[in-house]
A and B are shown apart, each in its own frame.
Chain A
Amino acid sequence: MKRSSLCALFTLVLAVVIAVGSVSFLGPCIHEDESFGACHWAGQALFGLGLLLAAESLFTLLVKDLRMRQGCLVTIWMTAVLGFFIPGTLIDLCSMATMRCVALMQPAMRILCALIVLIALIGTISGGRKAGKQE
Chain B
Amino acid sequence: MNIRSLPIKNLIRRPGRTMSLIFLTAMLALSVFGGSIVVMSLRQGLNSLESRLGADIIVVPSSAQSKVSFQNMLLQGTTGAFYMDAENLNRVREVEGVEVAAPQVFLASLKADCCSVKIQVIGFDPETDFFVCPWIEQSYSQDLGELDVVTGCKVEAGVGEIIRIYDERCKVVGRLAPTGTGLDTAVYCNLSTMKILLKAAEEKGISHKVTSNPDDDVISAIYVKVKEGYDIGQVNSKIQGHTRKCSAVRTKSMITDVSDSLTEISATVTLLIGAIWVLALVILLIAFAMIAGERKREFAVLRLLGISRSMLSGLILKESALCSLAGGVLGVLVAAMIVFPFTTLIETKLGLPYLRPALPYALLLAGLSLTATVIIGAAASIWASFRLSRVDPGIVLREGN
Please, how many angstroms separate the alpha-carbon atoms of A38 and B156 in the complex?
A: 13
CA distance A93 to B116 in the complex (A): 11
* Interface-lining segment among B231-239, B307-315, B318-326, B336-344: B336-344
Inter-chain CA distance A92–B115, complex, in Å, is 10
CB distance from B239 to the nearest CB of A (A): 33
A window 19-36: CB within 8 A of B: 29, 31-33, 35
A97 at the interface (CB under 8 A from B): yes
- Bound Cα distance A18, B77 (Å): 30
For residue B345, CB closer than 8 A to chain A, the reply is yes
Structural contact, A96 and B345, CB atoms closer than 8 A? no
Q: Is the CB of B341 within 8 A of A37?
A: no
Contact B342 A104 (CB under 8 A): yes
Q: Quick one: which of A33, A97, A103 has the most chain B CB within 10 A? A: A97
Question: Which residue of the partner chain A has the closest CB to B161?
Answer: A95
By beta carbon, the residue of chain B nearest A107 is B341
Contact with B along A67-105 (1 / 0, CB 8 A): 000000000000000000000000011111111001110
| The residue from A38, A98, A104, A110 contacting B154, defined by CB atoms under 8 A apart | A98
- Interface: A39 (CB within 8 A): yes
Contacts of B385 in A (CB 8 A): none
Q: Is A13 an interface residue (CB 8 A)?
A: no
| Cβ–Cβ contact A96 & B156, under 8 A | yes
Interface pair A99/B117, CB less than 8 Å apart: yes
Set B112, B114, B341, B348: member contacting A98, Cβ < 8 A = B348
Determine the chain B residues whose CB is within 8 A of the CB of A35 once the complex forms: 116
- Cross-chain contact B115 with A97 (CB below 8 angstroms): no
**Given A38-B114, A102-B156, CB of A96 within 8 Å of CB of B341:** no
Q: Which residue of B lies closest to A100 (CB)?
A: B345
Residues of A contacting B348 in the complex (Cβ-Cβ under 8 angstroms):
98, 103
Which of A96, A99, A108: most chain B Cβ within 10 A? A96
Task: Give the nearest-CB partner of B156 in chain A.
Answer: A95
Contacts of A37 in B (CB 8 A): 114-116
Q: Does B119 contact A (CB under 8 A)?
A: yes
Given contacts A94-B156, A96-B185, A32 and B116 within 8 Å (CB-CB): yes
Q: Given the known A-B contacts A95-B157, A96-B185, A102-B156, are A110 and B341 also in contact in the complex, defined by CB atoms under 8 Å?
A: yes
Contact between chains at A98 and B116 (CB < 8 Å)? no
* CB <8 Å contact, B342 and A94: no
Partner of A95, one of B77, B114, B341: B114
Chain A, Cβ-Cβ closest to B119 = A96
Question: A95-B155, A96-B155 are known contacts. Are A111 and B117 too (CB-CB below 8 A)?
Answer: no
13 of the cross-chain contacts (CB-CB < 8 Å) are: A29-B116, A37-B114, A92-B114, A93-B115, A95-B112, A95-B115, A96-B115, A97-B155, A98-B185, A98-B348, A99-B117, A103-B345, A104-B342
Extra pairs beyond A94-B117, A95-B117, A103-B345 (15, CB < 8 Å)? A38-B115, A92-B114, A93-B115, A94-B115, A94-B156, A95-B112, A96-B154, A96-B185, A98-B77, A98-B117, A98-B348, A99-B115, A103-B344, A103-B348, A108-B341
Q: Which 10 residue pairs of A and B lie closest in terms of their CB atoms, listed nearest first?
A: A94-B115, A107-B341, A97-B154, A103-B344, A103-B345, A95-B156, A31-B116, A95-B115, A96-B117, A95-B114
Q: What is A's interface to B at a CB cutoff of 8 Å?
A: 29, 31-33, 35, 37-39, 92-99, 102-104, 107-108, 110-111
Query: Which residues of B are at the interface with A, using a C-beta cutoff of 8 A?
Result: 77, 112, 114-117, 119, 153-157, 163, 184-185, 337, 341-342, 344-345, 348
